[in-house]
Amino acid sequence: MENKTRLDRVHRFVSTLNQARELGLVPREAGEGTLLMELPYSEKIIGNPDTGAIHGGAITTLMDTTSGSVIICALDEFELCPTLDLRVDYMHPAEPGKPVFARAETYKITSNIIFTRCEAYQDEGNTIANCVGTFMRIGKEASPKPYRDLITGGEE
Amino acid sequence: MIDPAVLEQTQKTGDFTDLLEGIPYARWIGLCCDRFGDDLIFRLPAKEQNLGNPILPAIHGGVIGGFMELSAEIYLILAQETLRMPKIVDFSIDYLRAGLNRETYAECHLTRQGNRVANVGVVAWQKSRSKPIATARAHFLLEG
C-alpha cells in the first residue's frame, strides 16, 4: 500500500471522531506501521492557567488517537480496534503556544492483539510523553461495511 | 494552577463551580464534581464533542482518560491539608467496556500517599457502579 493511501485513510478515520476534530488533530505522515499526528495549541485545552500549559488529558487523547490510527497504517484492510489499555509517562509539560506531535508505531501484531508505542514531542529529541498501548482485534466485520468503505474510500 | 482562596471556598462549601471554571480543560470536556459528605463524585455529562467511535457511538477513549486523570488531580489537591500542586508522573488506564454517549461518573481513592509521591486509583462507570467502563491509576509528584 502507498503511504498516501495510508495517510488518506487515517485522515478519513480521524475526521469521523468528534473529539479528534474538535482538538484539530491533523495526520501529517504515514508509513508502514508508522504515523505522525499534530495537535495544535489552543487555549480551551489548558490545564494550568498560570503557565498556559495544556492538560495531560489532551495529550492522552492525542496519543490514544495516534496509537489507534497507526493500526490503519499497519493493516491492509480497515479494522476498528478498541483500546484495551494505555500507559502514559509524562516527562515534562508541553510548552504553551506550540503544537505537540505524536509519532506512533505498531511494534507487534498478532491475530488478536496489536501492541503500539507512541512518543509525544514538540522539538525533535525532546520527549514530552511516552505511551504504550494494546488494542484488541475484533475483526473487520465488527464495523459496518459502509463505515469501512468510508475509511478506505471503497478500495477494499 | 488553583487560587488558594478558591480552594478554601470549595473545601468549605463543597461547591466546585469556581474551582472548575478556573481550569479550561475541565470546562471544555464538561467535568463536574459533587461532594457527598466527605466523598467526591466526578461527573462527565454526555456531550457530542466528546465522542470518538461514531458507530456505537462511544466517548473517545482519550476523553475518558482525560476525565479520570483530571478527577484524580482534583481529588488529590482536596485530600491535602495544605495546598500542594500535584504534577502528573504517569497514568495507566484499562478500558473495560465501551463508554456510551451518556453521563459518566468517576470516584477516586488515595492508594498510597508518601512524602513526595501519591498513588491515586480511579474507577469510572455509567449505568451501574458494579459495571465499570474503565479503571485507572496515576502517580503524582507533590510540590510546595
Nearest CA among B11, B3, B87, B74 for reference residue B42: B74
User: For each of chain A's 156 residues, which pLDDT tens digit applies?
Assistant: 899 999 999 999 999 999 999 999 999 999 999 999 999 999 999 999 999 999 999 999 999 999 999 999 999 999 999 999 999 999 999 999 999 999 999 999 999 999 999 999 999 889 999 999 999 999 999 999 999 999 998 865
Phi-psi region of A153 (alpha: psi -120 to 50; beta: other; left: phi over 0): left
How far apart, in Å, are the Cα atoms of B91 and each of A102, A130, B26, B97, B129?
17, 11, 18, 19, 22
CB contact under 8 A, B25 and A88: no
Question: Cβ atoms within 10 A of the Cβ of B21, count?
Answer: 11
Residues of A whose CB is below 8 A from B60:
17-20, 61, 64-65
- Is the confidence at residue B70, as pLDDT, over 90? yes
Phi-psi region of A149 (alpha: psi -120 to 50; beta: other; left: phi over 0): alpha
Tens of pLDDT, residue by residue over B75-128, are 999 998 888 889 999 999 999 999 999 999 999 999 999 999 999 999 999 999
- The x, y and z cell numbers of residue B67, run together, are 476525565
CA–CA separation, B75 and B92 (whole Å) = 17
Asked if A57 has any chain B CB less than 8 Å from its own CB, the reply is yes
CB contact under 8 A, A82 and B98: yes
Which pLDDT band holds residue B2 (cuts at 50, 70, 90)?
confident
Distance, CA of A33 to chain centre: 12
Tens of pLDDT, residue by residue over B30-68, are 999 999 998 999 999 999 999 999 999 999 999 999 999
DSSP conformation letters of B34-63: EEETTEEEEEE---GGGB--TTTTBB-HHH
ipTM above 0.90, yes or no: yes
- B4-143: CATH architecture: Roll (3.10)
Number of domains in chain A: 1
* CATH number of the domain to which A89 belongs: 3.10.129.10
Question: For cell 507487534, what's the residue?
Answer: A108
Q: State the residue range of the domain holding A20.
A: 3-152
Prediction pTM value: 0.97
CA–CA separation, A70 and B133 (whole Å) = 24
The reported pLDDT for the residue numbered B92 is 98
Decide: residue A25, CB within 10 A, 0-12 exposed, 13-18 middle, 19+ buried: buried
The C-alpha of A143 sits at a distance from chain B's nearest C-alpha, in angstroms, of: 8
